[in-house]
Structure 1
């Protein structure tokens, strides 16, 4: 991990007495902080029932911090070191996202929040967008819009598609859960500013891998600069 960043661990209380293991990544030298000093990027990890945890987003969070941003990862309920039990459809996990965002507003001075969800974390984060007034933007990394994934996460779609919050959907063109046509068809009903960024020839799990952390970080930074 880069020596020019600091990582702090803490515990955040969610609903039902759940304790969420949380990490805050920030620049060691406050002087190199980005112009978005009051912006915090909250990253929501992939499906915990398939092994998803905050460690999968450590690379992106570290790169964002090294570029001057505050980035936050956390284990949703039942994942990693967090207490509680994971759910199949992710609706209880939405409460965890909201709890972390509110904690950051109260304790870290997060006046603006960018929510970034990876894989199943994308629908979960999307359902939290309108529940936190400080959220100014949303980035999806491989949103599972496809038919099979929609059996689990379909009830989350409306929340983000009907939100006026600026949205960016990043996806590999070889994503096994969502085809490019499925993505375009879904986004036709989206409200407000909605953008896509397709990474040519990349699969769903490839994009989750560390070799794409730098590229994804740059995409997120470009989106932030446009907000």
Structure 2
């Protein structure tokens, strides 16, 4: 029995793209959360990333009393527009949805969660949105190959003073634990990491780990 409802909406970006979004609303909200909403950013659209991949996590958060919002970024799912290779156009998608959340769901505070390639995209949006209060990365692709595409996003999140949590499997094929630690050694503000022993990148993205991701996000919310 789920303790939430799901509502679909269309959100328009500053450059006229229409994004298909879903809001997962708890039947009983946490009373003292000051209007905190979790906005989730899905993996690489060009490799088939879409909001459905984050449904399990969004449902789990809503069942625990938090509103959660997923979106199909441009060119994914039912959204219009074209996906970009480097994820820079998609920053506009994240900003548009966060502003919509503030105006329509009364999300005064937003926690941005990015999965895989969604992590660099969300990371670049963090400081462009005033009401974002924290950031969670699930499998940030910091490694050499991935950096060809996403390297220009790194600086924004590492320089952000907002609290950050990086979750990764120790067998992540895109980023080694050493690469993660090297990158985060220069990060500003409060930085936490949580490593899943022996878990690969795509394994962690799978539904088997949704409940664990929900618990890590809830723990991080409690610390904000």
Is the structural similarity TM-score above 0.5? yes
Name 2:39's counterpart in structure 1. 42
**Residue aligning to 2:180:** 183
Structure 2 CA distance, aligned partners of 1:29 and 1:192? 33
1:145 alignment counterpart: 142
Measured after TM superposition, the shift of residue 181 of structure 1 is 0.2
Aligned residue for 1:137, secondary structure, equals strand
**Kept after mapping to 1: 8 A contact 2:12/2:18:** yes
1:206 maps to 2:207: no
Are 2:34 and 2:108, in contact at CA under 8 Å, matched by a contact in 1? no
Normalising by structure 1, report the TM-score.
0.97
User: Which of residues 119, 123, 131 is equivalent to 2:120?
Assistant: 123
Aligned residues: 224
Distance 2:167 2:32 in 1: 24
Matched, 1:195 2:184: no
1:34 to partner: Cα distance: 5.2
Aligned 8 A contact 2:13 2:92 in 1 = yes
Structure 1: give runs of 5+ residues left out of the alignment. none
Q: Which structure 2 segments of 5+ residues have no match?
A: none
Q: Which stretch has the larger CA shift, 36-45 or 149-158?
A: 36-45
Is the CA contact 1:37–1:69 (under 8 Å) kept in the aligned structure 2? no
**Residue 3 of structure 1: how far off its partner (Å):** 2.9
> In 1, Cα distance between the equivalents of 2:15 and 2:183?
34
How much has 1:28 moved relative to structure 2? 1.9
Q: Per-residue displacement from partner, 1:68-90 (whole Å, max 9, x unpaired)?
A: 00000000000000000000000
The corresponding residue for 1:17 is 16
Moved more, 3-12 or 57-66: 3-12
**Post-superposition shift, 1:41?**
0.2
Could you tell me how far apart the structure 2 residues matched to 1:154 and 1:106 are?
A: 32
CA deviations over 1:157-208 (Å, ceiling 9, x no partner): 0000000000000000000000000000000110010010001110000000
Q: Distance in 2 between matches of 1:224 and 1:210?
A: 21
* DSSP-derived class of the 2:167 partner: strand
TM-score, length of structure 2 as denominator length: 0.98
Instruction: Give the alignment's Cα RMSD to 1 decimal.
Output: 0.9
Per the alignment, residue 134 of structure 1 pairs with 131
